[in-house]
């Protein structure tokens, strides 16, 4: 069995979300993808809602360096310190947890542990998690992300590919959304339009 | 009350007016300095002898190459390493509860070429207790390390950490070690430090580290250099003063010159800085001739006698100092020149490795406060008495 590759580490945490710093620059998981980390006595599942690459020091502005470079890779080759002074991180909305084999699609009793490793969920895990879509309201109602509809659509497109019949899954998800957003047709319409693969 | 800036404003205006009135005078001096420099024949034997024989009151540059030389940088090797160090410190504060000081050395090692890599780190060391905080002689004398002496100690530790890092580098690539400021321990010049202090800080301290680079250079190409941005030195201008002096041998204590600050023949170039002179001579990336420092302390440096050249970079002229064994080795000198020009281009005018070493070393005001708070907390947890001066307390609690 292949050893699972950790991709990041939790550096800020709360009950509803966490921030994870990547081990490698520019290697953030895709928007809407599902990741897993550890909490107190449980596995915590979340969906990536934003990511960024920036200076490790808040006060230091990144300057353009590539005017004389032939390629973007040459910028790093000519300035080897950059890889050590920049970092990539991503924020994750917590959508469920699993203290044992069962998965609960609501917030865990305590936040993800600080410094816990973050793993990208396998297609099997995503498929298993999305047998039910009760967690969607956690994203719909989230105030953390400026574009929750984009996150929902990205996640559903990504999750559909783990199911044997992706379109069937998307129809099921659309119905779930229609129920949750029955009083906001414009928003529902906006998300549904984004579900086209 | 803080500074009343409205009161200072008129004084700043007066200062600006004064500087403006001297502008044309300054341009004339520069013109004469350039003419004088160009008039020196390439062998420059007469000026060399004049410098040797002079009894001058200024620090004069020794001539190692044709003074009017200007040379573009050779190409950098494909693969090479640049290491740099810089430091910050928290000085002894007699108003705090405990006598201690802290040195924070920032280190950077950048590898360029086929396998680019970078190592950035900082090394904080706390000095506490009598033994760590003093320089001691064998016969029972000691000098407490604080204030200016701590600044000198920091220079030594910056250089020691740099040598440690460079000696650990496992590649066989050419390597240049860079420090910020001067290789000349100006802090020891003109001060009345005991011999054992000078011995430990300079002979067994700084110069010993130069020796480690010297030894390393036997196995692989290795040099140490220091970089001074916006230098205020006048060594070369002072050599031109000697060239202008009609007396030979030059003796500043002669009847005409003694006690004067202006009106002497040499004052026709007085007040100029070396960087102003070389700004008019050098093109971007070019270096000046190599000169040697004739500071009194240099006698102790031996083979590591400090030489220097000026380097034009975009908008400023910097001073680069190297030991004599680097200056005398054309390949090493070219390496230092090329690497520093490259470093400055990558660092927007200042060597990127030094800039990052500074970032690693810097101790902010908030860091200082956090440090002293932590010292107090750990002392209290250990049931040790924590007492600050009343002055310190008064500053913390502003009252009316």
DSSP letters for B237-275: HHHHHHHH-S-SS-BTTSTTTTT-SSSSGGGGSTT--HH
Mean pLDDT of chain B: 93
- The answer, yes or no, to whether residue B248 has pLDDT greater than 90, is no
Distances (CA, A) of B93 to B100, B126, B224, B347, B371: 8, 14, 34, 35, 12
Q: Say what the pTM is.
A: 0.87
Mean pLDDT, to the nearest integer, of B98-116? Answer: 96
**Residue A1: predicted pLDDT:** 54
Mean pLDDT, to the nearest integer, of B142-156? Answer: 95
Distances (CA, A) of B307 to B50, B85, B304: 19, 20, 9
- DSSP element (H, E) containing B9: helix B5-21
- The answer, yes or no, to whether residue B29 has pLDDT greater than 80, is yes
**Residue B391: predicted pLDDT:** 77
Contact B359/A57, CB-based, under 8 Å? yes
Mean pLDDT, to the nearest integer, of B122-135? Answer: 94
* Residues of chain A positioned with their CB less than 8 A from the CB of B178: none
Find out whether A19 and A12 touch, Cβ atoms under 8 Å: yes
* Residues of chain B positioned with their CB less than 8 A from the CB of A76: 116
Contact A80/B352, CB-based, under 8 Å? no
Q: Which domains does chain B have, with CATH numbers?
A: 80-230+328-365 (3.30.420)
User: With an 8 Å Cβ cutoff, is A57 touching chain B?
Assistant: yes
* C-alpha–C-alpha distance, residues B205 and B199, integer Å: 8
Angle between helices B148-168 and B207-219 (to 10 degrees): 10
List b or e across A149-186, with b for residues whose CB sees 16 or more CB atoms inside 10 angstroms. bbbbbbbbbbbbebbeeeeebbebbeebbeebbeeeee
- DSSP element (H, E) containing B316: strand B316-323
**Residue A197: predicted pLDDT:** 62
Helix (H, G, I), strand (E, B) or coil at A90: strand
For residue range A80-113, what is the model confidence (pLDDT) as tens digits?
999 999 999 999 999 999 998 899 999 999 999 9
Distances (CA, A) of A52 to A12, A147, B263: 15, 15, 65
For residue range B275-294, what is the model confidence (pLDDT) as tens digits?
999 999 999 999 999 999 99
Contact B112/A78, CB-based, under 8 Å? yes
Write the DSSP assignment of B125-176 as a string of letters. Answer: EEEEHHHHTEEE-TTS-EEE--THHHHHHHHHHHHHHHHHHHHH--S-S-EE
* C-alpha–C-alpha distance, residues B183 and B398, integer Å: 43
**Residue A2: predicted pLDDT:** 62
Contact B118/A83, CB-based, under 8 Å? yes
Contact A77/B348, CB-based, under 8 Å? no
* Residues of chain B positioned with their CB less than 8 A from the CB of A63: 348
For residue range A134-158, what is the model confidence (pLDDT) as tens digits?
999 899 988 887 788 999 999 999 9
Mean pLDDT, to the nearest integer, of B327-344? Answer: 97
Find out whether A179 and A135 touch, Cβ atoms under 8 Å: no
Contact A84/B348, CB-based, under 8 Å? no
* C-alpha–C-alpha distance, residues B61 and B44, integer Å: 13
How far is the alpha carbon of B276 from chain A, nearest alpha carbon, in Å?
Answer: 30
Q: Which of A76, A78, A81 lies nearest to residue B108, judging by beta carbons?
A: A81
* C-alpha–C-alpha distance, residues A124 and A130, integer Å: 10
Higher pLDDT among residues A141 and B231, named by residue: B231
Residue A156, CB-side half-sphere exposure with 13 Å CA sphere: 31
Distances (CA, A) of B269 to B16, B21, B35: 22, 17, 11
């Amino acid at each position: 069995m292949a050893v699972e590759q950790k991709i990041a580490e939790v550096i800020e945490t709360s009950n509803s979300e966490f921030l994870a710093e990547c081990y490698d620059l520019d290697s953030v998981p895709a928007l809407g993808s599902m990741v897993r980390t550890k909490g107190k006595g449980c596995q915590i599942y979340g969906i990536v809602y934003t990511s960024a690459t920036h200076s490790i020091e808040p006060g230091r502005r990144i300057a353009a360096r590539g005017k004389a470079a032939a390629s973007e890779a040459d910028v790093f080759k000519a300035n080897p310190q950059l890889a050590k002074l920049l970092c990539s991180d991503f924020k994750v909305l917590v959508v469920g947890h699993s203290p044992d084999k069962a998965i609960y699609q609501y917030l865990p009793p305590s936040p993800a542990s600080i410094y816990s490793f973050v793993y990208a969920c396998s297609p099997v895990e995503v498929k298993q998690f999305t047998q039910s879509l009760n967690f969607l309201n956690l994203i719909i109602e989230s105030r953390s992300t400026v574009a929750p509809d984009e996150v929902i659509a990205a996640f559903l497109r990504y999750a559909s590919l783990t199911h044997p019949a992706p379109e069937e899954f998307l129809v099921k998800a659309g119905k779930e959304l229609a129920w949750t957003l029955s009083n906001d047709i414009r928003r529902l319409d906006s998300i549904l339009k984004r579900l086209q693969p | 009350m803080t500074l009343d800036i409205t009161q200072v404003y008129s004084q700043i205006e007066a200062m600006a007016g004064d500087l403006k009135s001297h502008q044309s005078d300054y341009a004339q001096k520069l013109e004469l300095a350039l003419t004088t420099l160009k008039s020196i024949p390439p062998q420059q034997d007469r000026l060399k002898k004049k410098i040797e024989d002079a009894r001058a009151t200024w620090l004069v540059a020794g001539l190692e190459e044709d003074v009017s030389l200007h040379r573009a940088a050779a190409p950098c090797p494909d693969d090479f390493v640049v290491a740099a160090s810089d430091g910050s410190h928290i000085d002894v504060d007699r108003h705090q509860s405990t006598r201690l000081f802290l040195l924070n050395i920032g280190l950077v090692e950048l590898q360029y070429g086929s396998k680019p890599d970078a190592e950035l780190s900082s090394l904080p060391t706390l000095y506490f207790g009598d033994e760590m905080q003093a320089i001691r002689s064998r016969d029972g004398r000691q000098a407490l390390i604080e204030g200016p002496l701590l600044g000198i100690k920091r220079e030594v530790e910056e250089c020691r950490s740099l040598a440690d890092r460079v000696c650990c580098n496992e590649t066989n690539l050419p390597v240049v070690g860079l420090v910020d400021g001067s290789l000349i321990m100006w802090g020891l010049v003109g001060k009345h430090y005991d011999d054992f202090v000078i011995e430990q800080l300079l002979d067994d301290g700084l110069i010993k580290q130069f020796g480690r680079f010297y030894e390393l250079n036997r196995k692989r190409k290795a040099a140490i250099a220091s970089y001074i941005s916006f230098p205020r030195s006048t060594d070369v201008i002072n050599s031109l003063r000697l060239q202008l002096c009609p007396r030979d041998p030059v003796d500043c204590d002669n009847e005409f010159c003694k006690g004067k600050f202006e009106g002497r023949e040499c004052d026709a170039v007085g007040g100029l800085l070396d960087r102003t002179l070389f700004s008019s001579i050098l093109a971007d990336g070019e270096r000046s001739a190599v000169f040697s420092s004739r500071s009194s302390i240099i006698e102790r440096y031996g083979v590591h006698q400090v030489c220097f050249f000026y380097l034009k970079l975009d908008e400023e002229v910097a001073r680069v100092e190297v030991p004599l064994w680097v200056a005398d080795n054309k390949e090493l000198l070219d390496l230092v020149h090329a690497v520093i020009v490259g470093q400055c281009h990558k660092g927007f005018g200042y060597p990127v490795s030094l800039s990052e070493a500074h970032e690693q070393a810097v101790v902010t005001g908030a860091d200082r406060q956090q440090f002293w708070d932590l010292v107090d907390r750990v002392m209290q947890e250990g049931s040790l008495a924590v007492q600050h001066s009343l002055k310190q307390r008064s500053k913390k609690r502003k009252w009316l």
